[in-house]
Structure 1
Amino acid sequence: MKFTEFDFEPEVMDGLESMGFEECTPVQELAMPVIFQEEDLIACAQTGTGKTAAYLLPVLNRVARGGSKGIDTLIIAPTRELVLQIDQQIEGFSYFCPVSSIAVYGGGEANAFERQRVALRKGADIIVATPGRLLAHMNLRYGDFSTVRHLILDEADRMLDMGFFEDIMRIVRELPVERQTLLFSATMPPKIRKLANSILREPHEVNIAISKPAENILQVAYMTYENQKLPLVSDLLKDKDDFESILIFTSRKANVTQIVRELKKMKFRADGISSDLEQGEREEVLRNFRNRKTQIMVATDILSRGIDIEGIDLVLNFDVPNDAEDYVHRIGRTARAQRSGVAITFITEKDQHDFKKIEDLIEREVTKIPVPPELGESPVYNPKEFRGRGRGNGKPFRKGGKGGGNRSGGKGRKPGNSSQKK
């Protein structure tokens, strides 16, 4: 279905054409008619399916057609990165429209809070905000939210995972009862149903490719010991021209700096990003990665959702994520916009049961590969043997030489004989 088949205002169509949008994605095709009818909606769609445009375009069209009397639309998202991405898309789609927007989030420059306060008092058409920073403004009792016609919750499951349920409910109580509410989520666990029942009215439902990676992602995994990981990265990336853009995920913030340091020793253009950085620093890291000044970016799961960077050739999971859903979001950073991509995961003994849960979720078995012989022997993939074992003591990895330390002829250790303490 083409965007020209919808009744968009000329200004909105001009924005779509300037951004090269012609064909709707499935979530856009199914969700936009419901939103145009001003009905409430629950949409379950994974990242990278075009859901941001699915809700932005009808909202922008309504504002462009009839104007607004103050704050028209409130979009709530879990992270600063996603808030900024949504605001950037608003800027692109509304380039030819008389629509104002403001991104409201913590951190950033010293005068950011004041700029946000001014925009809220004047009544920008669209507010995109993280829950905590928005509540900080609302508690100071400026900003008139009585004019809000649309409430949109993006990455709702992530917000609940981060403990924002009560914050969301406090925000909702400040909004008009008569409004359109749209809830977008990558998954639909019971807690999302509870939230939906609390704030939506007879919602329509749209479900698109729930928690399944794109078919054009080549997924492989390496069976490795912890001290083989960095030598394995070096071996995989020894031909620096194989991948122009690489994103490495680690589950521990403390690992980011160490991985980046080792990559730079290997002469890679590498940088890292985590919640420890100031907002300006994070934006600079992302900008350099987008512009290809940086070839490799090492990140925590702060980037597994909500960052739309085109052309990532390889996603490398240095650690298996704790949550199976996070695996889908991590590897969804590659193979976007119909491109192909590669996703590689390092699996240690303690990760095996968690990786089996990932395979159960995505309903496929990922090919397992041993490390190259020169790096030593590899663990055997046997998740039943390691079921229930801990994921280690949470300490950062320790740099080691080649080889896997104490091993038993390449066979998986029995739980009682493991030299790695829980």
Structure 2
Amino acid sequence: MTFQKLNILPAILKVLDEEQYVSPTPIQEQVIPLILEGKDVLGCAQTGTGKTAAFAVPILQQLEFRKDIKTKVIRALILTPTRELAIQVGDNFTRYGSYLNLSCTTIFGGVSQVSQVKALKRGSDILIATPGRLLDLMNQNLINLEHLEIFVLDEADRMLDMGFVHDVKKIVNCIPAKRQTLLFSATMPKSIQQLANNLLTNPSYINVSPVSSASQSITQSVYFVEKNDKEQLLSKLLNDSGVLRSLVFTRTKRGANQVVKNLMNQGILAAAIHGNKSQNARQKALDDFKQNALRVLVATDIAARGVDIDDLPHVVNYDLPNIPETYVHRIGRTGRGGKKGIAVSFCSNEEKIDLKSIEKLIGTKLSISSI
């Protein structure tokens, strides 16, 4: 299968060729034709499977075909749970639409709204937004969604985990009932099924991997370690393994800061991203990590959504998540695009119940490692 066989516009194919996209991933191969046909889609796919391109490419194509000669209005809305993911999705839309005459605006909280409002006033065909900032600007009558044609709810499971379900419902009540709706999620718990039933009309359900599974390209293991010994274990792994870059997950913001402090004291360049960090600080840490200026990025789950890094070899669960689906999200940062990845978890006595829930969800026991 090639992208040409998916009947994609030459202007978009040119970008895909420049980005060295050789052939569509399974989610892209199945979803793109459905979206081009105007169907509602419920897609379940792990992170790193090319999900963003699966909806961005056909949305751009549809909007290009159905151009309105009037003043630019928002015709597609992509709702994401975090700032980082909004930025990533916005960058992808801009890149894939490089040779099209369509504009894209990204809005999120944590920064001044001034520049975002200016961009909106210039007119935009596509809006990528986080729920809080979108509702805020809607309440100020700065955003009009009455011309919306396509609505995308990205990372729906994470959206619900973060308590955005009421915000999502408020937004849905303000958009046209006649629209195309696309819902994507890495996992498919009952809550997502219920949300899909309320949002989608006769949807096509696409599941490109077993529900709540991890990529087969990721080697997973667990270290049983006392809570107070985790710092020493992390240092030993980083020093012994020779891994250049590692993404480390902690459960709390305070924990992330403490891990960074300990690593820096040992001469290991590290930075944290979490909700208490400013957007500029978070973006700088992420950029430095991508450019190998940092060896370790320590993140909480909320901040890590949208961390899209090529060739990330190593993910460490310094603290196990208490929501098992979150484990799938975390380790999906590595092993992307079929590349090999390593996911290591630290498990204290208090976290053994969390480990049991994770293993039940993914349907396998993690191999036990020791120093």
Length-normalised TM-score, structure 2: 0.95
Quick one: distance in 1 between partners of 2:23 and 2:201?
30
- Once the two structures are overlaid, the 10-residue window that deviates more, 302-311 or 225-234, is 302-311
**3-state DSSP of counterpart to 1:116:** helix
1:63 counterpart letter in structure 2: L
Q: Which amino acid aligns with 2:218?
A: I
Indicate the structure whose relative CO is greater, using CA pairs within 8 Å and at least 6 residues apart.
2
Which aligned pairs between 1:213-232 and structure 2 lie closer than 5 A? Answer: 213-232=214-233
Contact persistence 1:52–1:86 (CA under 8 A): yes
Greater displacement, 277-286 / 337-346: 337-346
Q: Secondary structure at the match of 1:238?
A: helix
**Deviation digits for residues 124-162 of structure 1 (CA, Å, limit 9, x no counterpart):** 010000011101111112333221110000011111122
Q: Which runs of 5+ in 2 are unaligned?
A: none
Q: In the aligned structure 1, how far is the partner of 2:327 from the partner of 2:144?
A: 40
Kindly provide the amino acid, as one letter, of the partner of residue 332 in structure 2: G
Say which structure is richer in helix.
2
**Aligned-pair identity (%):** 39
* Greater Cα shift, 122-131 or 302-311: 302-311
Equivalent-residue separation in structure 2 for 1:281 and 1:184 (angstroms): 29
Quote the offset at 1:277 in angstroms: 0.3
Q: 2: distance between equivalents of 1:166 and 1:329?
A: 22
Q: How big is each residue's C-alpha offset from its partner over 1:223-245, in whole Å with a ceiling of 9 and x where there is no partner?
A: 111111111122222247x2111
Q: Could you tell me which residue of structure 2 aligns to residue 49 of structure 1?
A: 49
Aligned mates of 2:142, 2:263 — CA distance in 1: 48
More divergent stretch after superposition (167-176 vs 301-310): 301-310
2:81 equivalent to 1:78: yes
Whether 2:208 is the aligned partner of 1:208: answer yes
Please provide the CA RMSD for this pair: 1.5
Check conservation: 1:121, 1:144, Cα contact below 8 A.
Answer: no
Task: Report the alpha carbon displacement of residue 283 of structure 1 after superposing the two structures with TM.
Answer: 0.4
1:74 is paired with a residue whose SS is strand
Residue matched to 2:339 = 339
Q: 1:298 maps to what in 2?
A: 298
Write the letter of the residue equivalent to 1:229.
K
Whether the 8 Å contact between 1:245 and 1:311 is mirrored in structure 2 is no
Q: CA deviation at 1:303?
A: 4.2
1:180-191 equivalent positions in 2, closer than 5 A: 180-191=180-191
The answer (yes or no) to whether the contact 1:19–1:92 under 8 Å persists in 2 is no
Q: Distance in 1 between matches of 2:143 and 2:362?
A: 44
Residues of 1 paired with 2:288 and 2:355: CA distance?
32
Where does the alignment leave 5 or more consecutive residues of structure 1 unmatched? 373-422
Structure-1 separation of matches of 2:142 and 2:342: 48
Q: How does 1:87-126 map to 2 (within 5 A)?
A: 87-108=90-111, 110=112, 113-126=113-126
Separation of aligned partners in 1, 2:201 and 2:307: 30
Residue matched to 1:65: 65
Is the contact made by 2:6 and 2:29 (CA closer than 8 Å) also made in structure 1? no
1:9·1:65 contact (CA, 8 Å) conserved in 2? no
- Determine helix, strand or coil for the equivalent of 2:140: coil
Aligned residue identity for 2:358: I
Offset at residue 305 of structure 1 (A)? 3.2
CA distance in 1, matches of 2:166, 2:269: 42
Query: Aligned equivalents of 2:237 and 2:164: distance in 1?
Result: 40
Shift of 1:304: 4.4
Q: Which moved more, 1:118-127 or 1:129-138?
A: 118-127
Distance 1:16 1:320 in 2: 37
Matched-pair contact (CA < 8 Å) for 2:217–2:339: yes
Contact 2:82 2:305 in 1 (8 A): no
Within a 5 Å distance, the mapping from 1:197-346 to structure 2 comes to 197-209=197-209, 210-239=211-240, 242-346=242-346
CA shift in 2, pair 1:208/1:305, >3 Å: farther
- Larger Cα-atom Rg: 1
8 Å Cα contact 2:84/2:304 also seen in 1 = no
Aligned residues: 367
When residues 215 and 303 of structure 1 are mapped into structure 2, their CA distance, relative to the original with a 3 A threshold, is: farther
Tell me, yes or no, if the aligned pair for 2:273 and 2:304 is still in contact at 8 Å: no
CA distance in 1 between partners of 2:218 and 2:177 (Å): 43
Q: 1:81 is aligned with what amino acid?
A: E
- Residue 67 (structure 1) shift: 1.9
